[in-house]
Amino acid sequence: MTTTIQQSGNQMIALFSGRLDTAAAIPTAEAVKPLMEAENKEIILDCSQLEYISSSGLRIFLSIRKEAATLGSKVIVRSINADIRQVFVMTGFISLFEIQ
């Protein structure tokens, strides 16, 4: 599981690659810290290479989402696969995020 953050203009793009399970959640939480401090940015969570997500990963997503709201940023989840979409549906996350 790798997390890469790119910044271009007003956008901050986090590229998640691999399986975001409970074990991977700890380093991922660390890696996404810059997103928590971004003010008035468009934060894009690129899930095109994310294979799997568990509740630990969802918690990170929710944290980013909550933090963004307080800092005037907007969070967009991009390119989720069917499995992850299914999880998003089950957890109601599908309505918490803007999914592209």
| Chain contacts with another protein (rule: CB under 8 A) | 19, 21-23, 26, 52, 54-56, 58-59, 62-63, 65-66, 69, 83, 86-87, 89-92, 95-96
Nearer to another protein, 5 or 18 (CB): 18
Least distance to another protein from the beta carbon of 25, Å? Answer: 8
Give the 3-state secondary structure of 9-75: CCEEEEEEEEEECHHHHHHHHHHCHHHHCCCCCEEEEEEEEEEEECHHHHHHHHHHHHHHHHHCCEE
Nearer to another protein, 33 or 59 (CB): 59
